[in-house]
A and B are shown apart, each in its own frame.
Chain A
């Protein structure tokens, strides 16, 4: 009788000690996260929080919604968001249309050749954005390499307008965004079991059918993740459209820059920035939710 009591007590003591050890372990791990949390609070959350606060401060220094109302009522801002979305949309479409075949061919190349071909995607990825933007400016200007080349060959007499407009911004943005789609897509295609495609064609599927019903659905999660990433990066893109768009393409980031730099009107700039942030976060949340639902559907 007394022996069973002590074993019960011993078990409780053991249980307590284990709980304490687990808590200590968890606290230790949480301590590892503290430097990161502190840094992100200071360098990311605090600036965003201050901008959020400023976006509700009117010209006279008191709380007001005038900054957001101005965004809503002034057609210029609507135009800016329309252009931002349109350019981001077209960039993403072109990147997806070029990137998918590129990743597809890369993943099917034999080993050595594949390593060499991958360098063509990795080299631009590791080249600073500013260097690539400068190079595009050199290539696309009115007296740039492409126009001068075509004129000296006698193919055209007047230079094409390739820079300082939407065309220039699109060319530059597509080139900069392409690796962001191709690299993750490549690794998700590489993870696809080739036996599944062999099985499909063994069961009588034509190559097109095997691609459509087996390979493509399996590559879709990686493809969509890449597309989302490119679109989100495009929405906030500043450097390349500012240089290659040459003032005729005003995207949201440029408008924010000009509002602070030229008019020092922090309320207007921060409200624009907060709206841009909200759109981005909303997009990511929706995409994650839809992705999770679709993922469940796939394995049901």
Chain B
């Protein structure tokens, strides 16, 4: 216990004096991860009722999920829309962030506001508005409709990530390439892009997750056989607590851990 009396910071506060902070931190960290982790043992329970720890193990809820054509179709739709939105938002957002970062375009502040707008608009307003508009354009329950909305909603994240990527990169390198005869497009793809590629990966992860995580808009503009996984989960979550949701959640948590690992790798590379 000697470490308790050693200085914890440059101000010579001892760890003992900071103990209350450490207690808050540990409680907060437990509070943060408990819900993510608690679904995992639940999903392997045999019982239809909630028990913790499960008395008898079984894979029946996974069977329920993977054998149900409805759940599988919903999963497929979600993955498809998320991948499409990921590419669309990353490409459109990177182009936008690049143009705004260079800074010679007109109405720069207003345009920044426009690209950040989806963050500020209450999602429910976007949801009912898009339903009203899409119903007249025949876009309800289509991949295109969902992708449009999810791409727009992911744009602010891509803009933020890419702008900070461009900020830590020296644009003069691109100028140098151009003065040596490369045109702008060639200079961007051969000089700039390789150096911000980890920001691009982060932007892709963010936009994939933003689409995959989205419930409210999907609730309005995807129904029946066109419903996304989230929409179906939300519907069955409101009616009763079906343990199949625990199995699906465990699968999603596994995907989350995977995304987290990739983003951590991208981040540590980006920092170098």
Contact = CB atoms under 8 A, between A and B. Distances in A.
B9 A207 contact: yes
A138 B99 contact: no
A242 B38 CA distance: 21
Contacts of B38: 135, 138-139, 145
A120 B33 contact: yes
Contacts of B180: none
B155 interface: yes
A178 B252 CA distance: 20
B6 interface: no
Interface residues of A, number: 94
B35 A139 contact: yes
B72 interface: no
A28 interface: yes
**Interface size grouping (class) on chain B:** 35 or more
Nearest to B88: A39
A270 B215 CA distance: 20
Contacts of A40: 114-115, 117-118, 152, 155
B3 to A, nearest CB: 12
Nearest to A206: B11
B189 interface: no
Given A120-B29, A139-B35, A32 B95 contact: yes
A134 B237 CA distance: 7
Interface stretch (A5-13, A42-50, A291-299): A42-50
A210 B10 CA distance: 10
A39 B155 contact: yes
> Residue among A35, A197, A281 with the most chain B CB within 10 A?
A35
B130 A47 contact: yes
Interface string A100-134: 01101110100000010101111110111111111
Interface in A246-266: 252-253, 256-257, 260, 266
Ranked 8 nearest A-B pairs via Cβ: A47-B129, A236-B122, A135-B35, A273-B125, A43-B152, A207-B11, A120-B29, A36-B96
Interface of A: 22, 25-26, 28-30, 32-33, 35-37, 39-40, 42-48, 50-51, 54, 98-99, 101-102, 104-106, 108, 115, 117, 119-124, 126-139, 141, 143-145, 148-149, 175, 178-179, 194, 197-198, 200-201, 205-207, 210-211, 232, 235-236, 238-239, 242-243, 252-253, 256-257, 260, 266, 269-270, 273-274, 276-277, 280-281, 284
Given A105-B24, A138-B246, 6 more contacts: A40-B115, A51-B132, A124-B35, A127-B256, A273-B122, A273-B129
